[in-house]
Amino acid sequence: MYAIEVDRLTKRFGDFTAVDGISFYVAKGEIFGFLGANGAGKSTAMRMLCGLLTPTSGDAKVAGFDVYDNPEMIKKNIGYMSQKFSLYNDLTVVENIKFWGGLYGLDGKTIRRKTDQILGELDMRDWKDSFVETLPLGWKQKLSFSISTIHEPQIVFLDEPTGGVDPAVRRKFWEMIYAASERGITAFVTTHYMDEAEYCSRVSIMVDGRIRALGSPNELKRELGRNSMDGVFKELARHAKRNSD
Amino acid sequence: MRRLAYLLEKEFKHIFRDKFMPKLIIMVPIIQLLILPFAADFEMKNINLGVIDRDGSALSKRLAEKSGASKYFNAEMLGPDYGAAMGLIEQNLADIVMEIPQDFEKDITNEGAANVLLSVNAINGMKGGLGAAYLNSIISDFSREITETSEPYMPPSRLQTLTEDRYNPHLSTKAFIVPGVMVFLLSLIGGILSSLNIVSEKEAGTMEQMNMAPISKITFIASKIIPVWIIGMALLTIAILIAYFVYGLFPEGSFAIIYGFAAIYLTAFTAFGLILSNYSSTAQQAMLSFIFFVMLFLLLGGIFTPISSMPVWAQNLTLLNPVRYFVETMRGVYLRGCGFADLLPQFYTICAFAIALNIYAVSSFRRNTD
């Protein structure tokens, strides 16, 4: 069984086909890079997979649950983190952990254990009672990621998680994704940074609502005769008809 | 339910950690209740009355004295020059000029009737109209007095109208305004807190994360309504205490009715705020649309001006206004001692508003923002 199975998934808004019959699968524990230029249909596809948007046609199963029948079960079994802040600035670090843990249905004991674990992993014990507002951006992002996997989801969706963060923090962030993947959590990542695409086990590249390339970074580079993912992406994206959202 | 508890804890932290919100919540009701009832006072005192007494008789002096003795009027005797008296009116120094003609006493004794001329400055229509009415009642009182004290065979000079001011025997506008201001402040605080609520999560970016969380729409909306509801009920209590200690107003009817109706009314108005919040993408949008609606609601709610004196089309509009029904309830309970049975129409209407607005709030809350 795969973590994500997608078969000819399509979303139309009126005459506009945002996502045009995409098919792929993501294996358990995989780090799957979901790339595409702005307006390629990435976020629409991701919203359908997270149970936020009903597809027009096609099939998709996420964590074993159907996107049409069981969107609420999908939500329980996935984590989500976006570039936008998922933390409350006027709550402290510990309060944010407790709140999101509680919202994902953890009991008090588990929340306390998790809180201790996260503070240890992030080396943030001294900051536990600081308001999130006062933390540096990189710390907030790492805390967001830890919180998005607090309920040990089967899959974590990361929507441009490293936007606006400096390279050192980005590397640290990817170490956290690898650690989660070793625990068996599947990561579904969108990113603009092509060096990050190299870190993924497999990558898909969307152009104009369709998946144009799918494979490991090395396979794609070989296929298109480029020596970097950046080259691969530019080669595919320059034929795009849609330019922006 | 446990999820709701976590959400509620968070909502209260948001409200009480805000630098501005707690002050707003405490100060608004106190200031409104201390200032508005005085500012919106329709009772007319210190009406400047000029008296021209051309008769100079015992009776005419008695009338002038009686008018001046009333707490409403500052009476001043003027010379016989009517033009000069009109000048005073033009300069806004006099509000009413009462001219007692020559032979006033003689006409009354001989014919049983006499005329008095009142010239009223109607620029301030309210003051002029009320002043003339007060003065009329003084004059008719006077004419009754002299009929009673004259020879027994004299017929009463005219029919008397007897007015009994029920429920508000001292015709105090404060008794009329204060229950209205209570409605005003519940609507204001309930609406402001809720209309800013969802939109501030949208602005902070946390809304997206909330959409991804495994909570139902109803739980989410409940977590937004309940804190406002609790704060609203606390405010109502503050308002009731101020009404008692500052204005000596104590409801004739029961507290259970006041709190019960307020509870339902608050869910309706909070839901209304959430609807605005759902449709707004910034706090400014939410606030401006709230101000637009709340002005209409409050002005058409009969808080400051009686609905019965509005034109018919405006009266019809007030039927669509939840504020109106709650104002009627509060005045009914405070002044007339209405029981639940008397307020059934209001009860059903407020319930209908609460149900409809809450359904709309839940259904207009879209998780799919694009």
Domain boundaries, chain A: 4-237
**Fold type of domain A4-237:** Rossmann fold (3.40.50)
pLDDT of residue B155: 52
Percent of chain A with pLDDT over 70: 98
Cβ–Cβ contact A70 with B under 8 A:
no
Cβ–Cβ contact A78 with B under 8 A:
yes
Which of A70, A90, A160, A188 is the best substitution to test chain B (most B C-beta atoms within 10 A)?
A: A90
Confidence of residue B149 (pLDDT cuts 50, 70, 90): low
Domain residue extents for chain B: 2-40+172-364, 47-149
Cβ–Cβ contact A53 with B under 8 A:
yes
Residue with the bigger pLDDT between B264 and A82: it is: B264
Beta bridge partners, B98, equal B51, B118
Cβ contact A103–B3 (<8 Å): yes
The one-character DSSP state at B335 is I
Beta bridge partners, A82, equal A159
pLDDT of residue A118: 93
- Provide the strand spans (E) within chain B: 47-53, 73-78, 96-100, 117-120
Cβ contact A76–B17 (<8 Å): no
* Region for B161 from its dihedrals, namely left if φ exceeds 0, alpha if ψ lies in -120 to 50, beta otherwise: beta
Distance from CA of B214 to the nearest CA of A (A): 5
Cβ contact B214–A80 (<8 Å): no
CA dist A182 and A152 (Å) reads 12
Beta bridge partners, B100, equal B53
CA dist B82 and B86 (Å) reads 6
Cβ contact A80–B3 (<8 Å): no
Q: Which helix (H) or strand (E) holds A214?
A: strand A210-215
Cβ–Cβ contact A99 with B under 8 A:
yes
Q: Would you give the distance in Å from CA A130 to the centre of its chain?
A: 27
* Closest-approach residue (CA) in chain B for A77: B214
Token pair belonging to A9: 């998934």
pLDDT of residue B116: 83
Cβ contact B6–A98 (<8 Å): yes
Q: Say if residues A3 and A63 touch (Cβ distance below 8 Å).
A: yes
CA dist B321 and A54 (Å) reads 37
Cβ contact B206–A86 (<8 Å): yes
- Give the residue-averaged pLDDT of B16-20: 86
pLDDT of residue A60: 93
CA dist B193 and B176 (Å) reads 27
Q: For residue B226, give every residue at least 6 positions away whose Cβ sits within 8 Å of its Cβ, in sequence order, or none.
A: B8, B11
pLDDT of residue B165: 59
Which stretch of A15-19, A33-37, A204-208, B135-139 has the lowest confidence by average pLDDT?
B135-139
Distance from CA of A80 to the nearest CA of B (A): 7
The one-character DSSP state at A208 is T
Confidence of residue A25 (pLDDT cuts 50, 70, 90): very high
Across the interface, of B13, B18, B367, the residue whose CB is closest to A52 is B367
CA dist B166 and B178 (Å) reads 18
Cβ contact B9–A53 (<8 Å): no
Cβ–Cβ contact A91 with B under 8 A:
yes
Which of A103, A132, A190 is the best substitution to test chain B (most B C-beta atoms within 10 A)?
A: A103
CA dist A216 and A201 (Å) reads 6
Q: Which of A108-112, B75-79, B146-150, B340-344 has the highest average model confidence (pLDDT)?
A: A108-112
Across the interface, of B14, B209, B367, the residue whose CB is closest to A80 is B209
Q: DSSP letter string over A88-134? A: -TTSBHHHHHHHHHHHTT--HHHHHHHHHHHHHHTT-GGGTTSBGGG
Distance from CA of B191 to the nearest CA of A (A): 22
Cβ contact B2–A44 (<8 Å): no
> Which CATH number does the domain B47-149 belong to among 3.40.50.150, 3.40.1710.10, 3.30.360.10, 3.30.460.10?
3.40.1710.10
Cβ–Cβ contact A2 with B under 8 A:
no
Residues of chain B contacting A90 with CB distance shorter than 8 Å: 13-14, 17-18
Residues of chain A contacting B206 with CB distance shorter than 8 Å: 84-88
Residues of chain A contacting B8 with CB distance shorter than 8 Å: none
Put the strands of the sheet holding B117-120 in their side by side order: B73-78, B47-53, B96-100, B117-120
Across the interface, of A76, A89, A95, the residue whose CB is closest to B204 is A89
- Give the residue-averaged pLDDT of A183-200: 89
Q: Is B33 exposed, middle or buried (0-12, 13-18, 19+ CB in 10 A)?
A: buried
| Segment B54-77, tens digit of pLDDT | 888 888 888 888 888 887 888 888
